[in-house]
Every structure is written in structure tokens, then in C-alpha cells.
């Protein structure tokens, strides 16, 4: 059984039909990259997977937690979100808390983890992203790359079953991109289930088990990245990769 | 004819000034507490409290404080309620303050970027957990300077309660002026009294604003 699965997913923004019946299955430990032109619905799809965007039809299932159109109440959302971590383009660290406190907050508040234990978790997670010595630094004292790594640590501290990455290197200076990608590569190597939207095509080809190309709100083509890049099955995907070079 | 020494005047004004200070503090404390409730109703999910809060804000922001006091003072007595001046003054200023503070604070809550809501939602926090741990600490930081600034308005607003006969600084001043026939001296002292109360607050607000701009 897949860890994450969506079926008949539909989403409208007003009259704009942005997701048109998405069926996506992600196995445990799989790394899935969603690509597509801007406006193709890729970020929206990612954001529906933890309820940041409501859906207008269909069902989302993550490790037994189900979200349906008419049954998306607060407790269903909370249940789902404990299994799904997310990292954003703009980091969204809490600026009034230190790096360590950023990571500790959710375990303490949501999981009622005692402070001492939460601190241990936070130190371990920061070490995992190579920032053990930044525990007491505030977000505005960190570089963009470091902030993004703290954001990853913050998501990992809730021990999610799957991590969503929404263009997490797009706001970074070029020289800082690799330190963040390095952390993602390491997570993929450890068997973390990852679903990401990215413009880093080379990276996507290297780490992904599955590539999903979205076009006009649908999954237009998907498969193994090497095979897809070598031999695009659709004209749209061919034109998309053509436009990258 | 009776004569008044300068000390007689100042002594009485000090008593009035103390009442002005007390009224300001009460109005600010109760108005702040009420304002917080109005704020949560105004930004909350439930429709009825939201509409009520909005009405409250529009009513008290959209009418002069003087008429609010008249309405409380004279209006409630129509219903057989005997409202003493101090009660009408305290209640009126509290309601007035709550409306403005709720609106100031709403601006501060809404100034916290949407990404902060999203990030905390993704960590499975509930609305109140988000508020308590993520949104309000940041909004509070933003709100300090405008809140202290509004406190100055409250102090000056207390002068209006003299019209319904509450013997604060302005009312005391006008009584003394009538008795001494020295309105210029007396009202200058009254103005000085307000200045002494308000100036430190203004400076404090400025200092806070500077320190927060420097910090972030």
C-alpha cells in the first residue's frame, strides 16, 4: 500500500480549475519530484497534501490519515499534519525564537514532549542538518541556507512520515543552494519519503525515484527521471525540458 | 473677598490631576482587557461575534467621545439607572479605548506574514496554539509603540469627562478659574499637567519604536 495516495483530486481558485483529477501514489522511502511550468498546479498539489489548500473533490490519504472534501475538520487536519512535514521557499522560521526554540516548539506544544526531551530532539535535528553550533542563534543571524536547514530540522523534529519541499532553494543565493540540496540528498539516502517541487532539474534527475510532470492541472507524464529525460513521451514535456536549456 | 495663593491652586489641581491619572489607568487597563476580547472576536472564525465586534468598533470609532459620555450619563438615567459621573466617565472611556485598541492590535496581528500561519499550521498546531506561540508574540512586538502612543490619546481624552461633571484635572481647573478669576494662569497650569503626564509616554513610544526598528 502506498504511503501517500491521492485520488480524483480537484481544486478551483474561483473559476480557475487548477487541479483536474490528480491521482498520485507515493511509496514509503520514495523520492518524488513534481515539475512543470508556473501555473501548472504543482505547488497547489503539494499544498493540498497537508491541507494548506482545501480540496473541492477527491481524497488524500497519508499513512492511514484521510482527508476528504466534506470531512476536513480540524482534527482530521491535525492528524494529517502530524504525518506530513513541510519546508517552504521563504523558510518561514519564527523570528522571535532561536534556531533551537524553532525546532523545539512543535514537539512541546503539539506532542506535549517535556522541555528537556524536546531540547535533545532539537539538538539532534540541528546536528543532522549540520547546524549543531547554531542552537542559540536567531533566524536573522543566519544565512538563507542556514535558515532553510533549520526549517528542515524543524519539520523533522515532528518525525513526519513524508516531507514536502516547496521550491526550497528558489529564494537562496546560488552559492547557498548546494548546502540545502546536500541535506535533502542525505535525507533521501536515509530513506525519508520526499515529495518536492523544484527547478533544480539536475538535482531532481539525480535523487528522484519518480518524476511527475504537471501540465494544465493534470499529471501529464510521469516515470523514472532518467528515462523521461532520455525519451520524453509527450510533446509538452519535451518542450518543457527544451525550454530549460 | 477670598484670596487664593498659588499653592492653593496647585494643590487642588494636583488632586484633579491624580483623578485624571487614575481614570486614564482604569480606562486603559479595562479598555485593554475588553479590547483583547473584541480583537479575538473580530479576527475569529465565528460570524456573529465578528459582526458584533465590528459594530462595536465602528460605533465607538465613528462617534465623538463626548456624545458617548452624554449617552451613557443621560441615556441610562432614562431607564431609571442613576449613573454617577465617575462611572459614566470610566465606562465611556473604557468602551472608547477598547474599540481603538482592538483595531490597532488587529492591524498588528494582520501584519504578521501569512507564512508564519502556514508554517505553524504545517506543524499541526491548533489556532490557539498558533496564536499563543507564534502570532501574538510577534504582533505584540509590533503593537507596543502604537499602543503607548494611543495611551497619550486616552490621557487627553479624559478631559472630555469634565463636561459631565467628573472632577478630574480640567473640571477642577475650570472650577478654580471661576473662583479665582485667573483663567490664563489656571488653564496654563492645567495644560502643563497634561503635558507632564503625556510627554514621558510620547518619548517612551518613540524610544520603543526606535529600538524595535534597530532590532529587526
How is chain B split into domains, by residue range?
Answer: 6-215
Q: Is pLDDT of B213 > 70? A: no
Helices (H) and strands (E) counted in chain B, each on its own, are 10, 0
CB B122 to CB A155 under 8 A? yes
Q: How far is B163 from chain A (nearest CA, A)?
A: 46
Sign of CA dihedral A135, A140, A145, A149: positive
pLDDT tens-place string over residues A197-240: 998 899 999 999 999 999 999 999 999 999 999 999 999 999 99
A33-92 pLDDT tens trace = 999 999 899 999 999 999 999 999 999 999 989 998 877 788 889 999 999 999 999 999
Q: Which long-range contacts (CB under 8 A, 24 or more apart) does B173-177 make?
A: B173/B13, B173/B16, B176/B4, B176/B9, B176/B12, B176/B13
Say how far apart CA A91 and CA B119 lie, in whole Å: 9
- Nearest to A185, CA basis, from A202, A171, A164, A203: A203
For residue B191 the three cell numbers come to 495644560
The ipTM, to two decimals, is 0.93
- Please give the domain boundaries of chain A with CATH numbers for all domains: 4-83+162-244 (3.40.50.300), 93-159 (no CATH)
Q: Tell me which of B22-31, B73-82, B89-98 is least confident.
A: B73-82
What is the b/e burial string over A19-43, where b = at least 16 CB atoms within 10 angstroms of the residue's CB?
Answer: beebebebeeebbbbbbbeeebbbb
pLDDT digits (tens, 9 = 90+) for A150-201: 999 999 999 999 999 999 999 999 999 999 999 999 999 999 999 999 988 9
Q: Is A81 on the interface with B (CB under 8 A)?
A: yes
What pLDDT does A18 receive?
94
Partner-chain contact A90 B115, CB within 8 Å: yes
Whether residues B123 and A93 touch (CB distance < 8 A) is answered with no
**Per-residue CA distances from A211 to A20, A32, A144, A239, B156 (Å):** 19, 6, 27, 16, 66
CATH node for B6-215: 1.10.3720.10
| Gap between the Cα atoms of A38 and B86, Å rounded | 63
Q: Which of A173, A122, A121 is nearest to A144 (CA)?
A: A173
Please judge whether B118 and A106 are an interchain contact, meaning their C-beta atoms are less than 8 angstroms apart: no
Q: Is the pLDDT of residue B55 over 90?
A: yes
**Is the pLDDT confidence value at B117 over 60?**
yes
| Chain B CB contacts of A81 below 8 Å | 121-124
Q: At A190, is the secondary structure helix, strand, or coil? A: coil
Dist CA B100 CA B58 (whole Å): 10
Specify the pLDDT at position B207.
Answer: 86
Interchain CB distance below 8 Å, A81 and B123: yes
| B90 has a pLDDT exceeding 90 | yes
B-chain CB neighbours of A160 within 8 Å are none
DSSP annotation of A87: E
Determine the Cα–Cα distance for residues B177 and B161; give it in Å rounded to an integer.
18
User: Number of residue pairs across A and B with CB atoms under 8 Å?
Assistant: 59
Q: What is the pLDDT of residue B152?
A: 94
Interface of B with A (CB under 8 A): 113, 115-116, 118-127, 129, 133-134, 137-138, 141, 216
pLDDT of B79 reads: 87
- Partners of B27 in the β-ladder: none
| Residue at grid coordinates 483583547 | B36
**What pLDDT was estimated at residue A114?**
97
Q: Identify from A85, A91, A105, A115 which residue to disrupt to test chain B contact, counting B C-beta atoms within 10 A and taking the largest count.
A: A105
- Band (pLDDT 50/70/90 cuts) for residue B215 is low
A-chain residues near B120 (CB < 8 A): 94, 106
Amino acid at each position: 500500500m502506498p504511503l501517500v495516495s491521492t485520488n480524483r483530486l480537484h481544486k478551483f481558485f474561483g473559476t480557475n480549475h487548477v487541479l483536474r483529477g490528480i491521482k498520485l501514489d507515493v511509496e514509503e522511502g520514495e523520492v518524488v519530484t513534481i515539475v512543470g511550468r508556473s501555473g501548472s498546479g504543482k505547488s497547489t498539489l503539494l499544498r493540498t497534501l497537508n491541507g494548506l489548500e482545501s480540496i473541492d473533490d477527491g481524497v488524500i490519504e497519508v499513512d492511514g490519515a484521510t482527508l476528504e472534501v466534506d470531512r476536513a475538520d480540524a482534527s482530521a487536519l491535525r492528524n494529517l499534519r502530524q504525518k506530513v512535514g513541510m519546508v517552504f521557499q521563504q523558510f518561514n522560521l519564527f523570528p522571535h525564537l532561536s534556531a533551537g526554540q524553532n525546532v523545539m516548539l512543535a514537539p512541546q506544544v503539539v506532542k506535549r514532549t517535556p522541555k528537556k526531551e524536546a531540547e535533545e530532539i532539537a539538538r539532534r535535528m540541528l546536528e543532522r542538518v549540520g547546524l549543531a553550533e547554531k542552537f542559540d542563534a536567531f533566524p536573522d543571524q543566519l544565512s538563507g541556507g542556514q535558515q532553510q536547514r533549520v526549517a528542515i530540522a524543524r519539520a523533522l523534529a515532528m518525525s513526519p512520515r513524508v516531507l514536502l519541499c516547496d521550491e526550497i532553494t528558489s529564494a537562496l543565493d546560488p552559492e547557498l543552494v548546494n548546502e540545502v540540496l546536500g541535506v535533502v540528498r542525505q535525507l533521501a539516502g536515509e530513506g525519508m519519503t520526499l515529495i518536492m517541487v523544484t527547478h533544480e532539474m539536475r538535482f531532481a534527475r539525480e535523487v528522484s525515484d519518480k518524476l511527475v510532470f504537471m501540465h494544465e492541472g493534470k499529471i501529464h507524464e510521469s516515470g523514472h527521471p532518467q528515462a523521461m529525460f532520455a525519451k520524453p513521451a509527450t510533446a509538452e514535456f519535451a518542450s518543457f525540458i527544451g525550454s530549460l536549456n | 473677598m477670598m484670596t487664593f495663593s498659588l499653592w492653593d491652586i496647585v494643590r487642588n489641581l494636583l488632586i484633579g490631576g491624580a483623578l485624571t491619572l487614575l481614570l486614564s489607568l482604569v480606562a486603559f487597563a479595562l479598555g485593554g482587557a475588553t479590547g483583547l476580547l473584541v480583537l479575538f472576536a473580530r479576527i475569529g472564525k465565528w460570524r456573529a461575534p465578528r459582526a458584533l465586534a465590528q459594530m462595536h468598533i465602528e460605533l465607538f470609532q465613528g462617534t465623538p467621545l463626548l456624545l458617548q459620555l452624554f449617552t451613557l450619563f443621560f441615556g441610562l438615567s432614562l431607564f431609571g439607572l442613576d449613573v454617577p459621573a465617575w462611572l459614566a466617565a470610566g465606562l465611556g472611556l473604557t468602551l472608547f479605548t477598547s474599540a481603538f485598541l482592538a483595531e490597532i492590535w488587529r492591524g498588528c496581528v494582520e501584519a504578521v506574514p501569512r507564512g508564519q500561519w502556514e508554517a505553524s499550521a504545517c506543524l499541526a498546531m491548533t489556532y490557539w496554539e498558533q496564536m499563543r506561540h507564534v502570532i501574538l508574540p510577534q504582533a505584540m512586538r509590533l503593537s507596543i509603540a502604537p499602543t503607548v502612543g494611543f495611551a497619550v490619546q486616552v490621557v487627553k481624552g479624559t478631559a472630555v469627562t469634565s463636561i459631565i461633571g467628573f472632577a478630574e484635572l480640567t473640571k477642577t481647573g475650570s472650577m478654580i478659574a471661576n473662583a479665582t478669576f485667573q483663567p490664563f494662569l489656571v488653564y496654563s497650569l492645567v495644560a502643563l499637567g497634561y503635558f507632564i503626564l503625556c510627554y514621558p509616554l510620547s518619548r517612551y513610544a518613540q524610544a520603543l519604536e526606535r529600538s524595535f526598528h534597530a532590532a529587526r
